[in-house]
Structure 1
Amino acid sequence: MQIDLDIGQPTWDLALMARPAALQQDWSYGEAVTRLGGRVIRAGLVDEGVLIGLVQFTARKIAGLVDMALCTRGPVWLESVSDAKRQQAYRLLKTGLGLSRPRLVMITPDEALDAGTRRLSRVMTGHSTVILDLTQDLDALRAGFDQKWRNNLKAAEKSGLSVVSNGTKLAQYRWLLASEEGQRAARGYRSTPATLVPEFVEARQARDSLLILRADTGKQKQAAMLFLVHGCSATYQIGWLDHENAPRGAHNFLLWSAIEQLRARGVQQLDLGGVNTTSGAGIARFKIGTGGRVVTLAGTYL
């Protein structure tokens, strides 16, 4: 097995059009990080001439001395890989990224703990997320909602709300980014900077990589959701709600509309993002209520 540090974007993007992957492993996500001042290392894992995996790291210097690289929710395996091959890949990545010593290479695999990770030291427990399989037909997806979630959706459908597509030029959705930054400051939670969104869209050079839906009553905004589309996957990135005026189930209505539109675009997998049943129980219930698969990542390994 070898590491290819010169892998190009066409090869990367083509592979992820056929294989669902996390946003953090998308080429344009790495470009957005670079535009915001970060450093990215990309590697292809090649075995007997076949590209079997892709790995994207963000990298930085710690205290101006230690080279640290972090792979979030990777590698993306493009082929069926044995435990022995995974172990070999992790060993190669520890030493083959061109980092100077001293160095730290950390990997958060987007998979259950397996023999490939057991020989590494876990330094952080894994978070959980909810994944919706959009290859199901719409009837099956709707039947998968729990009863309360479905009832809220029905209530919103009868409420007079209309779902509209918000424009995808930055000036047209800047209000939503500002709302997200305000929510983050008020509630004290951490998430990907809202400024990454326009950089991601610019890097992909396609506004169809962005889906923004609003729920309006007349000309009044009541709720909004923003999704990033990458390869054959999409990620729920930002949500906003007028808590005082929005009818019951406004976000249910928006998410259902997004599911319909994303499926029509050929998206196979929707990542609803992290669930935290301690400090974000309401949001966690909303995501889990979709009937999606709750995935707890193995953690971060050194």
Structure 2
Amino acid sequence: MGLPSVESSMEESHYTYQKFEGEAEEWNALVLRYPGAGLIQTWEFGAARTQNSPWQVERGLIIVNGYVAGAAQTIVRAMPFTRAGFAWLNRGPVGSFENVGAAFDALRRHFSVSRGLYLRIAPPFMETEASAVIRRESGLRGTDIAGWASSTIDLNNSEDAIRVNFHSKWRNALVRAERAELNVRVGSDPETFETFLRGHAAHLSLRGLGAGVDTAFLRSLQEFLPPERKLLSVTATKDGCYLGGAAFVRYGKTGEYLAGHNTEVGRKENSGQIVLWSALRQLKSDGVIRLDLGGMDEYLTPAGIFRFKNRMGGKPYRLASEMEGDAPGLINKVVRWRVRRERSRNGHEGGVAATN
């Protein structure tokens, strides 16, 4: 979502929130028509994120003078036997708003005032001078938690142009992997996905659950995705030895790196480079015009992973800092304290699932 004007007053704009009652196809068509909409606001992500968990997903519309101007997918965790709880809106709302502050205020009024929930929002737009105006007009407070950071590669460019833009060390590693004649499999079929998932489970078992996106979430997301948007899985082997793999999700005209891993042997064989390059070529062939590298934060991303992604020559970006809205009651004060502590401790942890 590009940052619209914030000049008009909230009193003049009549922004309200209304729960969405439709189905997945209608929801995705709505949110993905807006620039800047990402995976986290898609129906399938919300369904996978809340499956078999105490969280519930709520999808809503931002209404302006009777017309739909945007949408927001929020996950909510209510506290038992009380109105208190936590509403977490990540990279939303998306829409076309003349007054962004008023749109955020509609969310604050719904979740914090009407429902009595502590509200936390990670906006989908870049930090600008207008962000302070948005916070003031929305009634939300800024926080010291920086927004999501990543990098994108323009797939409208030719393969040669993309490849030339790689750092020389990254490109040379790719050449060595190509000469090594690794067996690379790329597909959205169940067999390739299961091969990747087994490798990813072994990686997490060795490195710990914080080393990547949880396999249960990946399986849930794959289950909810329609056939034409199943995860693109890529695996690399040599002489029957598994070297590594990655999974990519597609939404609109964007592809996003979701999860990946390499074995020790795979790193020596530069399997990471050929896996990413093979996925990039397939996504480009499928009509995807933008590849998001799925998180690249100089402060939070492990140094080796940051260097690997940074050397692909993409365009870095960082979204605006998180905002919060209070709700009354002692329990909500405890909720706010816990959320603040966790976010300050972990920032926005690596992996799209970890941040939601």
SS in 1 for 2:294: strand
Equivalent pairs: percent with the same residue?
26
> If each structure's helix is expressed as a fraction of its own residues, which one has the higher value?
2
CA–CA distance in 1 between the matches of 2:158 and 2:260?
Answer: 25
Q: Single out whichever of 28-37 and 126-135 deviates more from structure 2.
A: 126-135
What TM-score, normalized to structure 1?
0.86
2:126 equivalent to 1:104: no
SS in 2 for 1:145: coil
CA contact (8 A) 1:168 1:210 kept: no
CA contact (8 A) 1:55 1:75 kept: yes
CA contact (8 A) 2:123 2:320 kept: yes
Gaps of 5+ in 2: 1-14, 325-356
Structure showing greater Rg? 2
User: Which one of 275, 282, 303 corresponds to residue 281 of structure 1?
Assistant: 303
SS in 1 for 2:265: coil
C-alpha deviation, 1:126, in angstroms: 2.3
User: Which one of 51, 58, 67 corresponds to residue 75 of structure 2?
Assistant: 58
Q: Which residue number in structure 2 is paired with residue 266 of structure 1?
A: 287
- Alignment: residue pair count: 296
CA contact (8 A) 1:55 1:74 kept: yes
2:152 equivalent to 1:131: yes
SS in 2 for 1:274: coil
Q: Deviations over 1:188-233 (max 9, x none)?
A: 6365432111111211232742111112213222121111223332
User: Which one of 184, 191, 202 corresponds to residue 179 of structure 1?
Assistant: 202
User: Where in structure 2 are the equivalents of 1:135-150 lying within 5 Å?
Assistant: 135-150=156-171
Q: Which residue number in structure 2 is paired with residue 40 of structure 1?
A: 57
Q: Which residue number in structure 2 is paired with residue 70 of structure 1?
A: 88
Relative to structure 1, the CA distance from residue 96 to residue 268 in structure 2 (aligned partners, 3 Å threshold; closer, same or farther) is farther
Q: Deviations over 1:68-105 (max 9, x none)?
A: 1111112223x3x33xx101100001012498653211
SS in 1 for 2:215: coil
User: Which one of 152, 161, 173 corresponds to residue 173 of structure 2?
Assistant: 152
What TM-score, normalized to structure 2?
0.74
Gaps of 5+ in 1: none
User: Which one of 202, 211, 215 corresponds to residue 223 of structure 2?
Assistant: 202
CA–CA distance in 2 between the matches of 1:134 and 1:49?
Answer: 38
CA–CA distance in 2 between the matches of 1:180 and 1:268?
Answer: 30
Q: Deviations over 1:224-277 (max 9, x none)?
A: 111122333222122121213544432111111111111222223322122244
CA contact (8 A) 1:67 1:99 kept: no
Q: Which residue number in structure 2 is paired with residue 291 of structure 1?
A: 313
* Cα RMSD after superposing both structures: 2.6
CA–CA distance in 2 between the matches of 1:272 and 1:24?
Answer: 15
Q: Single out whichever of 220-229 and 130-139 deviates more from structure 2.
A: 130-139
Higher relative contact order (CA 8 A, sep 6+): 1
Relative to structure 1, the CA distance from residue 100 to residue 53 in structure 2 (aligned partners, 3 Å threshold; closer, same or farther) is closer
> If each structure's strand is expressed as a fraction of its own residues, which one has the higher value?
1
